[in-house]
Amino acid sequence: MRLLVVEDEEDLVDALRVGLVRAGYAVDVAYDAPSAHEKLQVNSYDLVLLDLNLPGGDGFQLCRSVRAAGQGARIIMVTARDRLDDRVRGLDEGADDYLVKPFAFPELLARVRALLRRDSGAGTSVLEVGGLRIDTARLEVSLHGRSLALTPKEYGVLHYLMRRPGHVVSSEELLEHVWDEHADPFTSTVRVTVGNLRRKLQEEGLIETVISRGYRLREPA
């Protein structure tokens, strides 16, 4: 899943980026409102962590423009503004959640997982498709009870496919949601990652290639 962190405190940005990447997410960063607006127009994000006090604009306005444009990214406002009217306004402007600084990172991570689960229809942090199982809270993956050691990108690809079993997902879509803005769109990184993932799964045909269209995680019969 790909996240955008919109925050002007560099130390906080660095800490969030490290923690979120370790949790299996691709992370882009914007330090002010104009650059955030530009990234949101160019890229497709699954979730945005949005500060309210930003150079060049404010989080309320940015949230409103995201919703007016019909973008489906989940939004968590992360701010030091703890007044009730700010929290109410944030939710009314279109935010899905509101978290006051300072906060504990595990709580932020739990809120991120909870919002992303809404889109997949999952009721818990565990996804299961046939014998495949991902625990997104513990970052544990297994197949028929056999534990799998995956790289962050292999985990990201499998997680994305497991949220859409039976559906064809293009290489471009995987690149958009599993890699960050520094990924080279002209490389074979998606194909190589899927190939490595298949070898670790050791189950023929579990991830199918649909010629000229992409990849599909096979649903159990």
Which pLDDT tens digit goes with each residue over 6-62?
999 999 999 999 999 999 899 999 999 999 999 998 888 999 999 999 999 989 999
Is pLDDT larger for residue 154 or for residue 130? 154
pLDDT at 120 over 80: no
Predicted confidence (pLDDT) per residue in 8-19, tens digit: 999 999 999 999
For the chain, domain boundaries = 2-120, 126-217
Domain 126-217 class, CATH top level: mainly alpha
Quote the strand ranges of 51-117, DSSP E.
53-54, 57-58, 74-79, 97-100
| Class of the domain covering 2-120 | alpha beta
CB 137 within 8 A of CB 161: no
Q: 59-113, pLDDT tens digit by residue?
A: 999 999 888 887 789 999 999 999 999 999 999 999 999 999 999 999 999 999 9
- Provide mean pLDDT across the span 121-131: 79
pLDDT confidence of residue 204 = 79
Across residues 180-199, what is the average pLDDT? 90
State yes or no: cis peptide before 106, omega within 30 of 0.
no
In angstroms, the CA 36 to CA 142 distance is 37
What's the pLDDT at 203? 83
Beta sheet of 47-50, edge-to-edge order = 26-30, 2-6, 47-50, 74-79, 97-100
